[in-house]
Amino acid sequence: MLFLFNVYGICEALYITAVSHPEGKFKGTYRGRYNIIENLGVIAFGRDLVTLDAILLNVTNRPVLEGTERLIEMAQEEFGVLDRGAVKEAKIKVGNWLSPQQYLTSPL
């Protein structure tokens, strides 16, 4: 894929981020109930936009590869092929340390 500019994807959860929680303090139409987590301190960036998104969803225990095939296909049409090996490797190396599960003990 040829871009006119160098394109990089950035995902950040430095100061405030929403985390799904079945009894969360807040309710939205997109993700249901959730809490707001402060000072998580995470930033990630890369040139492979589809794989970057998939890796971050996977290490936060969101089901990116199950049931989202059409979304992945659409993203690949625009931004390039998903590196499924990198997604699996990141899960093995990082595990679940970004998982919202650690915030499920009680609502904030």
Domain presence at residue 29: yes
Q: Note the Cα 22 to chain centre separation in Å.
A: 19
Q: Beta partners for 36?
A: 18
Give percent of the chain with pLDDT exceeding 90.
6
Quickly count: other Cβ atoms within 10 Å of residue 54's Cβ: 23
| Residue with the larger pLDDT of the pair 41 and 103 | 41
Domain presence at residue 63: yes
Domain presence at residue 2: no
Domain presence at residue 4: no
pLDDT of res. 107: 47
pLDDT of res. 83: 92
Please spell the DSSP secondary structure of 37-87, one letter per residue.
EE---EEEEES-HHHHHHHHHHHTT--SSSS-HHHHHHHHHHH----HHHH
Report the candidate in 19, 7, 95 with the shortest Cα–Cα distance to residue 49: 7
Domain presence at residue 57: yes
Domain with 80 in it:
9-103
> Could you give the number of structural domains in the chain?
1
Q: Report pLDDT digits (tens) over 65-107.
A: 556 677 888 888 988 889 989 988 988 888 776 666 665 554 4
Domain presence at residue 99: yes
Of the pLDDT bands very low, low, confident and very high (cuts 50, 70, 90), residue 108 is: very low
Q: Beta partners for 11?
A: 44
